[in-house]
């Protein structure tokens, strides 16, 4: 066997006998202990594991720097290259790299888990281009996901590297200047001296300061992008490139040949072996599909397979050429050759623009795309339509040429290529003068997503004619393999390229490419409609080109010639995003050491950008530590007949199988009611329910053995959906109702009464750090220390104590930070923490586990799906008289927090409106899905969307201005809600008026209407939505907190409290609070962690009250200290902080203090509908404008303006970051993120490949946030307000803007009036709601007439 040589952060590393199954990420983290590179998904879909790989290209005599997903890259593929991780470019001790510094100071890191990946993506870009364009920066991050920030601060920090430096120092004007007023000031700076209007169109009394001071940034030196001594790399690489390699382990052999003959020989010897280049497909199959391939052959170093050759009739591309190199080759050709030859190449380049992220394109090869034969391959439809030729080679058959035609793909993942053959080349042909070629793709998310349907379309005309000589249409996503519509094209040959062709082609395609109801992948009608919609786009695009050349051959007056219909040909394009943030500066005269109100960076930002911030799984491994892997149910509802771990226990490294029999205490858990089992005993009621666990010496052994545990089931009928539960009368508890007024009488007297229903899908938390726990027994097992990714240290402590049969005082729970939480770690962390604690207790050894992404998604539950059935009565003017709503909530298999979530829904269905007569009832459906749980907003988003859906129905019925109707119903100061709480210090109307003015809504609404009149296939919508959010826990006892403050003799201060830092900046704000109370700089104050021994019985960090509760407690603790120091300050006013502290110490005055706070007067009685439910309300408003593609369902958010009341902000940068992050998370909820279950309870969407959260391309192109000025809140610390949850629902403005755009499309099709649009408003729902001649060809089948592939969850 050979030795592996690589460089890591400048150090040469030799690995003897590397395991071919080890990934680069595992090696970096486990062997080299470089914990900065994170595991976020394991399938190359989130970018948290991004590193830079550098190799020396001797042919071009230069270095190649590539961003790569370390979670997929095999360690064995790193021979002879240099790997740079986030630790290698800068650190806290020795100094930060400019990339790290700018991200930290620009507030671009919140929880910090995704941060190293963004740093390395940007670093890799700068190594290749030290002055990239804004578009290049956004493209570089298409493979990186962030769940916290909303992406804007990340982009702003990194845009300072562009030539134009269009970051915070220059920015963009928010709207076109109107009127030419020269005395107006521009917030952004772009139009200074020119005058402008819109948000910056009014001269402000006081312009806000900058969130970031770019003048502080260190420059990027010319050579700083070369981080390591590469001279030795050149020498090593020269030898490595010519070296054939063999690496072996017990289960796998890895070959790396260096010649084609060697490769062919290996393939002949191992015909069922897998050939890899980037491992982007095989790596996922091994990790998530439990595939095992004994022989892997890496074809990366075979010269002939990496060759590119220009021929007279096209370009010959080697099969190992990466997609990144392919794109460069084709772009160079396009720029240097005549346009008519390049149309096929242009289609490939456009398709590659949407092909995965850069980290995948950098390593994935063109040959892999062909031979894996994915039915949704983005490139294969293009290759088939172009008739590409493949050159194959084998020992038995020599070389042969195969045409990629309608017979090339022979079945699912099968081709004409024989098992012993190697794909050597693919020939990409030039197009002819009279030949046209386009490619199309539709996916759930535009960037870095797999296709729903894609297509390659080619037409060849007779010379100087519009008569079709030849045509090929190829589709992916319409069969188990890429198909060609040969019957359709044969029929169309010889026809003219005119309107009749569209009608005929649509009929033929519908007949040739049908999808039966229940077809795998679902969305049958939508997918079928895309085949014809794509053809129509192709037709219009080609026709427009033909008209320029041969206009006389077309009938004049044809409606397709009008500019209105040309919108069908437009391709997706978005400008780089931009935005302005407006906030109040700290007042003049505020002492410098008082940090309250200043936009300080996150206190851990520097550690997060360097990868030095530790999360649970980053903690050093204990010497005698075990790793745990869970054995979970694969059935949604079944009796357990038998569990057999015997085979697993024989596997290498396995120590034990742990089950309910090993629990010394109680085998039950539950945050409100203990209605769940830690380990299932004889019944499973959901897929992902824990049955047992394997303990082993490392993660790989544990996970492999857990899959070998055999569980025998007796399946029972599952209840999956809300509709299933209603039909089965399956509920957690009797319904709960809140009512006010006389609903029946008011409905009877109303001018109009409408009824309807709305389905609101669930949402996966998708925190980047999955659930993780490390349990460490202490003192001979009499104590236990538990490190967990938990939002609630007290519940964690109590749950562990109960399951172990110990007292809470012997359980210490510790949380340093979370890699995102969003409510998903408020209670469901116990699913993992308790089995880990049981195993650690049983063996009296440390035990660790961090869930893989798919495990986390199938186990931990989501935001609750809702079905709302409503009736509303209102006047001719649109004034609401009465509303009646029944909410049906999918609670999952247990109670968890479902009742509390429903209670918040019941009291937020009015949003910002007064409803005089109302009855709202909540039904909690018991289903066989994971128990759904807390999620940012906690039931309010579902209620608010329902409210605004009703409001939209009212507006569509009375046909009046949306502004007028909403304002008519809006709450006013002194009004009472239907749960009898008086509206006090109400700023909702101020936010509403400000956002209308700043967004220039009225003028833009006219522009939207004009756009819609002039475009048939693109439509726009604009919507303004208010929000009211009650701040405080509905359970009064939770509205309390304590804090501990210590002052040490050197003057430094340590504060501790029960709140958990999870990216929301809680620790930063608490330091700022302490700085004001103590009148000392923040540099003297430190927060270590959340620890149950320092803050007992802490309430969960949730409900947007983290700063309110903990801030008051910290303030009280610090004020107590100051009261003790006050005599020393007065007696020695010229002294220093340190001298006062030491004087107090010498007088034996305690320098430790406890602060305690509880929110006063809270206590609502649900039976009598009386009492105070919330401490105060947070309010805001948003205006969003969108553009939809009526033919595909694609949409773009063109602009969003937000005005939010945060009181007197403790930290404007953090608050604005919370607003932007919440908004984008809500955008995902309402438009993008779709959970998909099979009818029998199998979760399809279990990773970023199938579940799409917003990416960097989803943020509004223009995103403006203003913090409402002069709005102090006297009911929270230093007049601030809670901010984490309220802004999320402002993203409903996007949902209703989309609905308005759909309405415009429907009106053009002759359909007026109310229509239903369920959430999320996915591309499928948007497209199918835009009814036209294409969708009418494919009606939805009747429910109940077939078994669907997926159910509405």
Q: 1085 has which bridge partners?
A: 1053
Q: Where are the beta strands (DSSP E) in 716-819?
A: 736-740, 752-760, 772-778, 783-788, 811-815
Q: How many CA atoms lie within 13 A of 1145 on its CB side?
A: 14
Give the separation between CA 989 and CA 1210, rounded to whole angstroms: 23
CB within 8 Å of 335: residues ≥ 6 apart: none
| Residue 433 is among the residues annotated as catalytic for this protein | no
Tokens 């967004």, residue located: 999
Give the separation between CA 146 and CA 316, rounded to whole angstroms: 39
Helix (H, G, I), strand (E, B) or coil at 1323: helix
Give the separation between CA 931 and CA 901, rounded to whole angstroms: 13
Segments in 676-770 forming alpha helices (H): 699-706, 722-728, 743-749
Nearest-10 crossing angle of helices 1106-1131, 1137-1146: 80
Q: Where are the beta strands (DSSP E) in 551-625?
A: 581-582
Give the separation between CA 1206 and CA 1287, rounded to whole angstroms: 10
At CA 1138, angle to CA 1134 and CA 1141, rounded to 5? 100
Helix (H, G, I), strand (E, B) or coil at 532: helix
**Token output for 335:** 């720029």
Query: In 327-357, which positions are buried (b, 16+ CB within 10 angstroms) versus exposed (e)?
Result: bebbbebbeeeeeebbbbbbbbbbbbbbbbb
CA distances in angstroms from 1161 to 96, 587, 1158, listed in the order given: 49, 32, 9
Q: 7 has which bridge partners?
A: 12, 82
195-198, long-range: CB within 8 Å, 24+ apart, which pairs? 197/1000, 198/173, 198/174, 198/998, 198/999, 198/1000
Segments in 770-850 forming alpha helices (H): 793-804, 830-843
CA distances in angstroms from 298 to 293, 362, 373, listed in the order given: 13, 16, 19
CB 53 within 8 A of CB 78: yes
CB 873 within 8 A of CB 753: yes
Of 1290, 1197, 1209, 1228, nearest in space to 579 by CA: 1197
Pairing of strands 1163-1165, 1152-1158: unpaired
Of 1208, 1207, 1078, nearest in space to 1155 by CA: 1078
CA distances in angstroms from 499 to 233, 534, 1347, listed in the order given: 62, 15, 38
Q: 442 has which bridge partners?
A: 453
Q: How many CA atoms lie within 13 A of 1061 on its CB side?
A: 32
**Token output for 813:** 């729970």
CB within 8 Å of 685: residues ≥ 6 apart: 636, 637, 893, 928
Give the separation between CA 866 and CA 863, rounded to whole angstroms: 9
Q: By 3-state DSSP, what share of the chain in percent is helix, strand and coil, each rounded to 5?
A: 35, 25, 45
Question: Among the options 1220, 1285, 1308, 1324, which is catalytic?
Answer: 1285
- Burial class of residue 1138, CB neighbours in 10 A (0-12, 13-18, 19+): middle
Question: Which of the residues are catalytic?
Answer: 1285
């Amino acid at each position: 066997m050979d030795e592996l040589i690589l460089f890591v952060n400048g150090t040469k590393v030799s690995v003897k006998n590397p395991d071919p199954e080890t990934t680069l990420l595992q090696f970096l983290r486990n062997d080299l202990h470089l914990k900065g590179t994170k595991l976020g998904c394991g399938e190359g879909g989130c970018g948290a594991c991004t590193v830079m790989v550098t190799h020396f290209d001797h042919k071009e005599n230069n270095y190649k720097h590539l961003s790569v997903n370390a979670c997929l890259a095999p360690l064995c593929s790193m021979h002879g290259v240099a790997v740079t991780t986030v630790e290698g470019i800068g650190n806290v001790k020795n100094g930060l790299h400019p990339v790290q510094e700018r991200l930290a100071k620009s507030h671009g890191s919140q929880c910090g888990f995704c941060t190293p990946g963004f740093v390395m993506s940007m670093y890799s870009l700068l190594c290749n281009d030290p002055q990239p364009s804004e578009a290049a920066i956004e493209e570089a991050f298409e493979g990186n996901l962030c769940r916290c920030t909303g992406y804007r601060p990340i982009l702003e920090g990194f845009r300072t590297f562009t030539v134009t430096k269009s970051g915070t120092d220059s920015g963009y004007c928010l709207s076109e200047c109107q009127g030419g007023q020269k005395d107006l000031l521009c917030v952004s700076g772009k139009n200074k001296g020119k005058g402008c209007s819109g948000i910056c169109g009014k001269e402000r009394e006081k312009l806000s300061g900058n969130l970031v001071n770019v003048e502080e940034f260190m420059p990027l030196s010319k050579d700083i992008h070369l981080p390591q001594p590469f001279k030795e790399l050149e020498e090593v690489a020269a030898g490595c490139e010519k070296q054939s390699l063999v690496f072996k382990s017990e289960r796998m052999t890895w070959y790396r040949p260096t010649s084609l003959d060697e490769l062919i020989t290996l393939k002949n010897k191992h015909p069922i072996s897998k050939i890899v280049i980037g491992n982007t497909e095989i790596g996922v199959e091994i990790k998530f599909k439990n595939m095992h391939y004994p022989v892997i052959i890496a074809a990366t170093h075979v010269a002939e397979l990496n060759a590119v050759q220009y021929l007279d009739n096209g370009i010959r591309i080697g099969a190992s050429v990466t997609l990144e190199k392919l794109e460069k080759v084709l772009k160079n050709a396009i720029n240097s050759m005549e346009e008519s030859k390049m149309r096929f190449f242009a289609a490939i380049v456009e398709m590659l623009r949407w092909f995965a992220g850069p980290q995948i394109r950098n390593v994935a090869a063109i040959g892999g795309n062909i031979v894996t034969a994915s039915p949704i391959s983005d490139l294969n439809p293009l290759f088939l339509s172009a008739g590409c030729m493949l050159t194959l080679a084998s020992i038995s058959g020599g070389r042969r040429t195969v045409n990629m035609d309608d017979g090339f793909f022979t079945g699912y993942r099968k081709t004409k290529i024989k098992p012993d053959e190697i794909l050597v080349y693919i020939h990409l042909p030039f197009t002819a003068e009279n030949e046209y070629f386009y490619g199309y793709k539709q996916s759930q998310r535009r960037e870095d997503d797999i296709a729903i349907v894609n297509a390659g379309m080619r037409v060849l005309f007779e010379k100087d004619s519009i008569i079709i000589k030849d045509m090929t249409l190829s589709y992916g996503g319409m069969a188990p393999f890429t198909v060609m519509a040969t019957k359709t094209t044969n029929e169309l040959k010889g026809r003219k390229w005119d309107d009749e062709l569209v009608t005929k082609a649509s009929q033929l395609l519908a007949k040739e490419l049908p999808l039966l109801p229940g077809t795998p992948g679902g969305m049958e009608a939508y997918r079928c409609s895309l085949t014809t919609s794509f053809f129509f786009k192709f037709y219009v695009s080609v026709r427009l080109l033909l008209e320029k050349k041969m206009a006389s051959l077309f009938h004049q007056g044809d409606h397709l010639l009008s500019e209105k219909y040309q919108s069908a040909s437009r391709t997706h394009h978005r400008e780089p995003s931009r935005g302005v943030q407006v906030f109040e500066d700290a007042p003049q005269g505020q002492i410098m050491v008082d940090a309250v109100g200043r936009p300080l960076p996150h206190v851990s930002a520097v550690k997060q950008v360097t990868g030095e911030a530790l999360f649970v799984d980053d903690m050093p491994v204990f010497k005698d530590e075990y790793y745990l892997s869970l054995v979970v149910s694969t059935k949604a509802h079944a009796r357990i007949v038998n569990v057999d771990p015997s085979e697993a226990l024989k596997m290498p490294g396995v120590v034990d199988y742990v089950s309910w029999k090993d629990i010394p205490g109680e085998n039950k858990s539950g945050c409100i009611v203990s209605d769940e089992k830690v380990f299932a005993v004889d019944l499973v009621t959901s897929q992902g329910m824990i049955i047992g666990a394997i303990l082993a010496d490392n993660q790989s052994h544990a996970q492999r053995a857990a899959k070998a545990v055999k569980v025998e089931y007796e399946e029972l009928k599952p209840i999956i959906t809300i509709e299933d539960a209603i039909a089965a009368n399956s509920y957690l508890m009797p319904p709960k109702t809140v009512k006010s007024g006389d609903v029946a009488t008011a409905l009877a007297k109303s001018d109009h009464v409408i009824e309807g229903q709305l389905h609101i899908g669930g949402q996966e938390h998708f925190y980047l750090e999955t659930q993780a726990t490390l349990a460490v027994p202490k003192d001979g097992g009499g104590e236990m220390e538990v490190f967990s990714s938990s939002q609630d240290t007290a519940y964690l402590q109590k749950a562990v104590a109960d399951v172990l049969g110990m007292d809470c005082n012997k359980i210490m729970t510790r949380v340093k930070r979370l890699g995102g939480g969003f409510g998903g770690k408020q209670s469901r962390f116990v699913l993992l923490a308790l089995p880990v604690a049981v195993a650690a207790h049983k063996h009296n050894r440390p035990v660790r586990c961090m869930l893989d992404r798919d495990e986390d998604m199938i186990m931990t539950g989501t935001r609750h799906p809702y079905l709302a059935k409503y009736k509303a009565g209102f006047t001719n003017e649109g004034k609401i008289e009465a509303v009646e709503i029944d909410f049906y909530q999918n609670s999952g298999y247990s109670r968890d927090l479902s009742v509390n979530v429903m209670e918040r829904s019941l009291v937020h269905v009015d949003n910002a409106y007064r409803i005089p007569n109302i009855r709202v009832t909540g039904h909690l459906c018991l289903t066989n899905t994971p128990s759904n749980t807390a999620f940012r907003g906690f039931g309010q988003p579902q209620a608010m969307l329902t409210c605004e859906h009703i409001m939209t129905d009212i507006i569509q019925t009375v046909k009046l201005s949306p502004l007028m109707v909403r304002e008519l119903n809006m709450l006013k100061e002194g009004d009472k809600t239907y749960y009898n709480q008086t509206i006090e210090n109400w700023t909702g109307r101020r936010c509403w008026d400000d956002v209308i003015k700043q967004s220039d809504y009225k003028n833009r609404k006219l522009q939207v209407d004009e756009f819609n009149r002039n475009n048939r296939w693109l439509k726009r919508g604009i919507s303004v939505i208010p929000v009211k959010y009650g701040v405080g826990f509905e359970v009064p006892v939770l509205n309390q907190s304590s804090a501990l403050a210590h002052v040490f003799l050197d003057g430094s201060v340590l504060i501790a409290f029960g709140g958990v830092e999870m990216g929301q900046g809680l620790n930063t704000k608490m330091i700022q609070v302490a700085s004001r109370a103590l009148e000392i700089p923040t540099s003297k104050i430190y927060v270590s962690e959340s620890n149950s021994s320092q803050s007992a019985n802490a309430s969960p960090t949730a409900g947007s009250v983290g700063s309110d509760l903990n801030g008051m407690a910290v303030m009280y603790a610090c004020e107590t200290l100051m009261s003790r120091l006050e005599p020393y300050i007065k007696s020695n006013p010229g002294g220093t902080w340190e001298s006062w502290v030491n004087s107090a110490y010498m007088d034996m005055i305690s320098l430790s203090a406890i602060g305690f706070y509880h929110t006063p007067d809270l206590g609502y009685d649900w039976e009598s509908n009386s009492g105070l439910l919330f401490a105060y309300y947070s309010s805001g408003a948003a205006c969003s404008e969108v553009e939809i593609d009526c033919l595909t369902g694609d949409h773009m958010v063109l602009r969003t303006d937000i005005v939010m009341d945060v009181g007197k902000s403790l930290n404007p940068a953090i608050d604005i970051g919370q607003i932007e992050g919440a908004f984008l998370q809500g955008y995902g909820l309402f438009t993008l993120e779709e959970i998909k279950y099979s009818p029998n309870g199998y979760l399809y969407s279990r990773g970023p490949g199938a579940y799409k959260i917003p990416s960097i391309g989803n943020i509004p192109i223009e995103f403006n946030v203003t913090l409402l000025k002069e709005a102090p809140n006297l009911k929270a610390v230093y007049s601030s307000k809670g901010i984490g949850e309220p802004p999320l629902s402002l993203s409903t403005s996007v949902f209703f803007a989309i609905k308005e755009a759909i309405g415009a499309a429907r009106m053009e099709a002759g359909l007026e009036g109310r229509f239903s649009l369920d959430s999320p408003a996915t591309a499928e729902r948007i497209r199918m709601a835009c009814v036209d001649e294409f969708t009418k060809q494919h009606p939805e089948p009747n429910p109940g007439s077939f078994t669907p592939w997926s159910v509405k969850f």
